[in-house]
Amino acid sequence: MKLTFLGTSAGEQYPGFWCRCEYCDKARQLGGRNLRKNSCAWLDPDTLIDFPPEIFMQAERFGIPVVDARTILITHSHQDHFYPNLFHWRAMRPDIPLPPPHTIGGPRFSPVVPLRVYGNQQVCDAVLARVGDRLELCAMEVHQVEPFREIEEGAMRFVAVPGNHADGDGHALTYIIQREGKTFLYALDTGWFLPESYAEIARHRYDLVVIEGTFGFGVDSEQHMNFRKLEEVRRLFEKDGLLKPGAPFVASHICPHFTPVHDEAAPLVAEKGITLAYDGMTVEF
């Protein structure tokens, strides 16, 4: 399996949109891996995890065919993870001849791969609010995920558990995904695991773990982890035998102001057995 990170920042991105702190300015000077856009990832060959505003720009940068995605798993409806306005541009009336006459306008003029979007209630509501009247024209289905219930989706099986991170009246979702005999965990905006969620997480053994390192070397919060918490998670997973030998343990969703630029932070966390993701990084597992 192959996972490509299309974005690895928290909400304010890295550098922070409006911040001139030492780290943010250094990232601007250095560029490259030190620049992070909002978190999302592509599970080869057809699945996207989260859908932030820069998704298409990032996909073009890294040569990922997001235009042909069949499945999108959404963690939650916060705008740095989910930007449903972009679905508006999928709509096409069925009676339009192709190629189209130059007398008509519209957002799409080609067949498109049907798309299934999975998420919590907040995500489903947001999709329906934006394109609910045009789902068929957009060749889209939207499915509300029931936590702890396994879902079969093409060649993939997944189960979602609630994160300790509020999304309106609900919770962000952490995904446990199985495909081609491999299992991986995608836990962004999760905070420390809720007991019932950890019970499900601990039922699996992982070939790859991706967890939020949001506050880096700063203090953690109820709703977000930092690197010290990540080290705790790693020790817990090792104690409970959840990591297959050599399984990469990757931090993503990074805030700028408490964590040095990637070039400096990556070697520091590598000493703790944590791989710091960067935009465009591909992990084979």
Contacting residues toward Zn ion, per CB under 5 A: 16, 19, 21, 24, 78, 80, 189, 256-257
- Least distance in angstroms from the C-beta of 75 to Zn ion: 8
* Between 21 and 104, CB nearer to Zn ion: 21
- Least distance in angstroms from the C-beta of 256 to Zn ion: 5
* Between 223 and 285, CB nearer to Zn ion: 223
Two tokens, residue 179: 């495909």
Q: Which of 22, 51, 20 is nearest to 37 (CA)?
A: 51
Q: Given the structure tokens 């856009």, which residue do they identify?
A: 37
Cβ–Cβ under 8 Å, residues 188 and 253 = yes
- Least distance in angstroms from the C-beta of 49 to Zn ion: 12
Q: Is 53 exposed, middle or buried (0-12, 13-18, 19+ CB in 10 A)?
A: middle
Q: Which of 69, 34, 33, 36 is nearest to 51 (CA)?
A: 69
Q: What is the rounded distance in angstroms from the CA atom of residue 87 to the CA atom of residue 127?
A: 8
* Between 62 and 258, CB nearer to Zn ion: 258
- Least distance in angstroms from the C-beta of 264 to Zn ion: 14
- Where does 34-109 have alpha helices with state H? 55-62
* Between 165 and 234, CB nearer to Zn ion: 165
- Least distance in angstroms from the C-beta of 215 to Zn ion: 12
* Between 24 and 242, CB nearer to Zn ion: 24
